[in-house]
Structure 1
Amino acid sequence: MKITYFIIISFFFISCAVQKSATADKASILKVMKEQEKAWSQNDLEGFMQGYWKSDSLKFYGSNGLTKGWQQTLDNYKKSYPTKDHSGTLTFEIDDISPIETNSYWVMGRYFLKRKVGDANGNFLIIFKKIDGAWKIVADMSS
């Protein structure tokens, strides 16, 4: 009887710890995305890219197909959004953040660009992974 009680209590504490960890992870991911909104809205594309994994293995899938690598993704952003009028003000609306496995989550949502050259809106699915203690986007599919 004591062993059964001990097992039940252990599962309860493990469950609480896992839930607390997931809550902290999601808050950290949302913080990265808030920092990205701020950087983008200041036309600081390099600051925006700090939320991405600085690696040749980064993958971005958008209207022009697949882009591989952090630098190429940044170069594409600079070409497509050369001025504040083009980048505008970015707002994310998050629909779901779910764990994939330990230290990785997908985030689904919508983005809204309010711009002088015409607003742009779309959907995204991004994958965050904790790398060297920091949450980074390792894959992005935006439309």
Structure 2
Amino acid sequence: MRKPILTFLVLLLTTGLMAQSKNDRAAILSILDRQTADWNAGNIDSFMNGYLESDSLMFVGKNGVTYGYQNTYQNYLKRYPDRATMGTLKFTILNLSFPGKDVAFLVGKWHLTRPQAGDVGGHYTLLWRKIKGKWVIVCDHTS
């Protein structure tokens, strides 16, 4: 009698974890879709809503490490001062995993189509944390 009960409990827990991952995956992909739309509308203010609004936010790019939400925001404004330099963003997700409770790790490709300024692109990794029920990017490494 113990074996069927144990099997049932394992299946119940596994199913619950998979459902959680599906919901979390959908939430993260929804944030990325919204960020893409915000970027393509020229709205960096709204694009930033996917990031942790804290001094502990870390952005790693070709110029090194930037700490803090405000510094990251200012760097976006400086690098992309107008629609021509912003171009049209496309994200391609290569891998999204959940290495721990309330932690997600995403690897992807980005591409900006910019007819006037020339296309650019590269890869990125995002470390996400679920804080107070909301997924936010706590570290972005884009190259």
TM-score computed with the length of structure 2 as normaliser: 0.97
1:118 is aligned to 118
Mapped to 2, the partners of 1:49 and 1:100 lie a distance apart of: 24
The within-5 A match list for 1:30-41 is 30-41=29-40
Q: What's the Cα RMSD here?
A: 0.6
1:13 is aligned to 12
AA at the equivalent of 2:138: V
Q: Deviations over 1:75-120 (max 9, x none)?
A: 0000000000010111100000011210110000100101131111
Give the 3-state SS of the residue equivalent to 2:6 in structure 1.
helix
Mapped to 2, the partners of 1:4 and 1:91 lie a distance apart of: 50
Q: Runs of 4+ in structure 1 displaced over 6 angstroms?
A: none
Mapped to 2, the partners of 1:133 and 1:19 lie a distance apart of: 17
2:86 is aligned to 87
AA at the equivalent of 1:132: K
AA at the equivalent of 2:66: T
Mapped to 2, the partners of 1:100 and 1:79 lie a distance apart of: 34
Aligned residues, how many?
Answer: 142
Deviation at 1:133, TM superposition (A): 1.3
The within-5 A match list for 1:1-143 is 2-115=1-114, 116-143=116-143
Unaligned runs of 5+ in 1: none
Give the 3-state SS of the residue equivalent to 2:118 in structure 1.
coil
AA at the equivalent of 1:129: R
Q: Deviations over 1:34-68 (max 9, x none)?
A: 00001111111111100000000000000110000
Identity of aligned residues (%): 33
AA at the equivalent of 2:142: S
TM-score computed with the length of structure 1 as normaliser: 0.97
AA at the equivalent of 2:6: I
